[in-house]
Structures are given as C-alpha cells and as structure tokens.
Structure 1
Amino acid sequence: MKNEASQTLKLALPIIIGELAQMALHLIDSAMVGAISYKQLAAAALVINAMNIPFVIGIGDDNFCFPNGFPCQWASGFAAGFALFV
C-alpha cells in the first residue's frame, strides 16, 4: 500500500504544483484588480471562474488520454474533450 501511495504522489505532484500555481496567479490577479474598484473585481472574479471550466475539462481530457501512462490516439481524445466543452 505504501508503494502505491508513493507512486500516486509521484504522478500527482506536477498536477498539484500546476494547480497551486494557477490559484496563486488568480489570487494575484484579483488583488491587482481589487485595488482599482469593486466593480472591476466582480468582473474579474466572474472571468476567473469561467476560465476554470476549460482547465477542468483539459484535466479530464488528459486523464482520458493517459490513464496508465500510455498515450492514446490524441485526436480522438481531443475531439471528445472538445465535444464536452462545446
């Protein structure tokens, strides 16, 4: 069990770092826009939340294409992810 947990953590670490970097970027963007006006902060918060939708779909698409580390036909995986997005 310990071996599987360490392998899972090794695979998940780049995703965790990417998500933390994305959250930090959104936090900094919100702080900069919030210094201007509360109306612009509300608009920025709406856009930031809307931008998260393609990121979540992209993560799902990556999991579809590389479930066990073996690449699939990327065109079919991309088409499936794009169809879900649209």
Structure 2
Amino acid sequence: MRVKPGAGRTRVGGRYGDDTLVVAVQAPAVDGRATQAALKAVATAFGLPARDVRLIAGNTSRTKIVELAGEHAARWAELLGS
C-alpha cells in the first residue's frame, strides 16, 4: 500500500502504479502516526479487527507491505478501482 499522510480526510482506495493500494490519512508522518492510522484505515476498509492487519515492511517508507488475515482478493481489487 502507498500511504499519503496529512490528507484532508482518511480514505482507502485508488491505485498507485499497477497494484498498490492508496491509503490517505489525516495523521502526519511523525513518530509512526501515519503508519498506525493507515493500518487502522485498512482494517476498517476490509472489515477486520486491527490485530488482523500486520505491517511486514516499510515502517518508515510511504510504500508499505501489509499482511491481512484471511482471503481478501476481491475487496482488494474493488478498492484499487475506486
């Protein structure tokens, strides 16, 4: 996923490149606040508890790799298209 910190509103959807999901968050990119807000937004968008979204790589980068519990390919494709 690609995080856009400091957005006017939190939003999950859209495409960055070929298959990277865009996550815009209001939180600034300070002390990991944008990362935590992005993980929470992704959990909400997929209807998962926050504990089921795990950051794999990219803690200090705008581009992050996350792991979601369960199978969510259809929802991922739907959010990429928005």
Q: Do Structure 1 and Structure 2 share a fold, with TM-score over 0.5? A: no
Q: Which has the higher helix share?
A: 1
TM-score (structure 2 length as normaliser): 0.29
Work out which of the two has the higher radius of gyration on C-alpha atoms and give 1 or 2: 1
Q: Which has the higher strand share?
A: 2
